[in-house]
């Protein structure tokens, strides 16, 4: 008798409720911060702990992604072509972000009429103490880890990037003998993403603690005098994302920016709640691969972009410097603006995903170029957390667009799959965050029934 196989059960996407919970947690955190600021300040470790859980997964994610991407390429020239094209694009877009920030800053003149008080000066000096100075030689030497394995434990993005490239090229050079290494790292990647999917269920708790703490520390009154610089910065970031990036994406790929941003909506919400673009890096890698961009392009472009494609940080450094100079009645000349900001963009490489890194970079740049302006950093200490969210969102959007563009220019993107994904016909698998065509890898299919033994006469 023929048995009918049961209809496979469609698994419900429970993460939809998770991100609704994140929104509710953010709103609850704002209320607690306003109603009970002293209690809210004590909740800061909750948000910090969640971000730290995400950060501990960054090095393994980058390592596995790059090794699999580079190791699976048969020609090393392709890696150089993708990397060179990406770095060239990053340089052009960083320059464009700087130019837009300069133009808007010189039109708005943020900080005019403000005066530095002793409390702000003390905060500024404290911020400088964590900034430090770093020359080009120190920056280059800092990319080299102490050992091959320390790059996976120190949490330095550029160190991990270097070691992963070396391992990827080594596996590539081994030919067929490197296949077992690739299979092993593929299994490790699945494990890493599974752990990350588990951590994400703590997102509402982390978002509640982070938002409550910052609202409790800052308050409403402290933001009023600084609304101009915040509004100007948000508008500038919006102009860059929706006009500049949107136009470039449409001209070269015919993809609507809003459809791409909708596809990445959950990642933007995660960044908004944690104020760190690094928290969404693993999900960006997984989603770009699901979108149809090849693993090598994603593995090279996304991690490199997190260190070199800092559009939001460039805009922030531009406007914050102009704000401080205007507030202290010591405006910067055009030459000083260009010299200072080029230095800052170089010094900020590798710090894109670190909350507050923009503030330290700003203080270090002012210390090395215009020490008399350093005290002014204290003026924006209170709102840096809010501005860091716009920085992180802009950086993330820039890297998402860059990945699609590089994939298009190199012919390493499946346009049919991209259209299906953006249209909602091919949903992203939230349970594993892996784009895996072999569903049996996640849940093995039941074994076929054994045939009945034949009768003998």
Band (382; pLDDT cuts 50, 70, 90): low
Q: Confirm if 151 and 166 have CB atoms less than 8 A apart.
A: no
Q: Which residue has the higher pLDDT, 211 or 259?
A: 259
Q: Which residue has the higher pLDDT, 418 or 339?
A: 418
Q: 413 pairs with which residues across the strands? A: 293
282: pLDDT strictly greater than 90: no
Q: Confirm if 189 and 64 have CB atoms less than 8 A apart.
A: yes
100: pLDDT strictly greater than 80: yes
- Average pLDDT over every residue of 65-94: 75
123: pLDDT strictly greater than 60: no
Cα-Cα end-to-end distance for the chain:
21
426: pLDDT strictly greater than 60: yes
Q: In the block, which residue shows the tokens 């001209």?
A: 251
How many CA within 13 A on the CB side of residue 353?
Answer: 28
Is 279 within the bounds of a domain?
yes
Instruction: Return all residues near 203 (Cβ < 8 A) that are at least 6 apart.
Output: 18, 19, 21, 22, 25, 50, 270, 273
Q: In the block, which residue shows the tokens 């508008």?
A: 235
380: pLDDT strictly greater than 70: no
- Average pLDDT over every residue of 391-405: 91
Q: In this predicted structure, what is the pLDDT of residue 432?
A: 59
Is 371 within the bounds of a domain?
yes
CA distance 61 to 114: 45
In DSSP notation, 305-367 reads HHHH--HHHHHHHHHHHHHHHHHTT-PPPHHHHHHHHHHHHHHTTT-TTSTTHHHHHHHHHHH
Q: In this predicted structure, what is the pLDDT of residue 353?
A: 46
- Average pLDDT over every residue of 41-50: 79
Band (428; pLDDT cuts 50, 70, 90): confident
Q: In this predicted structure, what is the pLDDT of residue 261?
A: 93
Q: What is the pLDDT of residues 313-330, one digit of tens each?
A: 888 888 888 887 777 777
What's the structural domain count of the chain? 1
Calculate Rg over the CA atoms of the chain: 24
Is 8 within the bounds of a domain?
no
Would you call 76 helix, strand, or coil by DSSP?
helix
- Average pLDDT over every residue of 207-232: 68
206: pLDDT strictly greater than 50: yes
Band (158; pLDDT cuts 50, 70, 90): confident
- Average pLDDT over every residue of 197-224: 71
Residue span of the structural domain in which 248 resides: 15-430
Instruction: Return all residues near 430 (Cβ < 8 A) that are at least 6 apart.
Output: 13, 15, 197
Band (386; pLDDT cuts 50, 70, 90): low
Residue 359 has phi, psi (to 5 degrees) of: -65, -45
Between the CA of residue 353 and those of 120, 173, 281, 299, 394, what are the distances in Å?
A: 26, 32, 9, 17, 12
CATH number at residue 163: 1.10.3860.10
Q: Which residue has the higher pLDDT, 124 or 326?
A: 326
Q: In this predicted structure, what is the pLDDT of residue 373?
A: 75
Which sign, positive or negative, has the C-alpha torsion 368, 337, 249, 409? negative
Q: What is the pLDDT of residues 239-265, one digit of tens each?
A: 999 999 999 999 999 999 999 999 998
Between the CA of residue 318 and those of 97, 120, 311, 351, 438, what are the distances in Å?
A: 9, 20, 11, 17, 48
Is 218 within the bounds of a domain?
yes
Q: In this predicted structure, what is the pLDDT of residue 10?
A: 43
Is 445 within the bounds of a domain?
no
Is 238 within the bounds of a domain?
yes
Q: What percent of the chain has pLDDT over 70?
A: 68
413: pLDDT strictly greater than 60: yes
DSSP state of 147: S
Q: In this predicted structure, what is the pLDDT of residue 456?
A: 40
Q: What is the pLDDT of residues 137-151, one digit of tens each?
A: 766 777 788 887 877
Q: In this predicted structure, what is the pLDDT of residue 455?
A: 43
Q: In this predicted structure, what is the pLDDT of residue 401?
A: 95
- Average pLDDT over every residue of 114-127: 50
Q: What is the mean pLDDT of the chain?
A: 74
Token digits of residue 387: 């501005």
Q: In the block, which residue shows the tokens 């910067």?
A: 332
DSSP state of 3: P
Q: In this predicted structure, what is the pLDDT of residue 354?
A: 47
356: pLDDT strictly greater than 60: no
Is 2 within the bounds of a domain?
no
Band (118; pLDDT cuts 50, 70, 90): very low
Is 359 within the bounds of a domain?
yes
Q: Confirm if 256 and 263 have CB atoms less than 8 A apart.
A: no
Token digits of residue 355: 């909350």
């Amino acid at each position: 008798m023929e048995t009918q196989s049961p209809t496979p059960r469609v698994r419900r996407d429970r993460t939809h409720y998770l991100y609704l919970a994140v929104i509710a947690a953010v709103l609850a955190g704002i209320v607690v911060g306003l109603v009970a600021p002293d209690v809210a300040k004590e909740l800061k470790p909750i948000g910090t702990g969640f971000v730290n859980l995400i950060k501990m997964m960054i090095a393994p994610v980058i390592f596995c992604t790059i090794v699999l991407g580079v190791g699976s390429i048969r020609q090393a020239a392709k890696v150089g072509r993708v990397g060179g094209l990406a770095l060239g694009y990053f340089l052009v877009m960083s320059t464009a972000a700087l130019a837009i920030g300069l133009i808007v800053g010189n039109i708005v003149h943020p900080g005019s009429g403000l005066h530095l008080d002793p409390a702000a000066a003390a905060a500024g000096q404290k911020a400088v103490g964590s900034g430090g100075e770093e020359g080009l030689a120190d920056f280059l030497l800092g990319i080299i880890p102490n050992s091959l394995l320390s790059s996976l434990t120190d949490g330095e993005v550029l160190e991990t990037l270097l070691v992963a490239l070396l391992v990827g090229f080594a596996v590539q050079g081994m030919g067929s003998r490197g296949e077992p290494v690739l299979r092993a790292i593929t299994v490790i990647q699945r494990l890493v993403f599974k752990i990350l999917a588990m951590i994400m269920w703590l997102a509402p708790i982390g978002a509640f603690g982070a938002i409550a703490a910052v609202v409790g520390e800052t308050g409403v009154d402290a933001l009023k005098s600084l609304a101009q610089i915040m509004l100007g910065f948000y508008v500038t970031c919006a102009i860059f994302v929706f006009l500049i990036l949107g136009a470039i994406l449409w001209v070269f790929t015919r993809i609507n920016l809003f459809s791409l941003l909708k596809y990445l909506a959950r990642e933007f919400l995660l960044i908004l709640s944690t104020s760190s673009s690094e928290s969404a890096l693993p999900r960006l890698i997984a989603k770009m691969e699901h979108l149809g961009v090849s693993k090598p392009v994603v593995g090279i472009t996304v991690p490199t972009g997190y260190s070199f494609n800092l559009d939001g940080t460039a805009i922030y450094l531009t406007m914050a410097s102009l704000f401080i100079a205007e507030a202290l009645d010591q405006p910067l000349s055009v030459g000083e603006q260009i010299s200072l900001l080029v230095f800052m963009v170089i010094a900020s490489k590798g710090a894109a995903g670190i909350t507050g890194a923009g503030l330290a970079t700003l203080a270090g740049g002012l210390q090395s170029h215009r020490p008399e302006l350093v005290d002014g950093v204290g003026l924006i200490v209170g709102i840096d957390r809010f501005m860091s969210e716009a920085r992180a969102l802009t950086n993330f959007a820039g890297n998402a667009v860059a990945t699609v563009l590089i994939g298009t220019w190199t012919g390493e993107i499946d346009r049919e799959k991209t259209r299906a994904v953006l249209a909602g016909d091919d949903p992203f698998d939230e349970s594993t965050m892996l784009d895996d065509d072999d569903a049996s890898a996640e849940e093995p299919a039941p074994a076929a029934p054994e045939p009945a033994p034949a009768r003998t006469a």
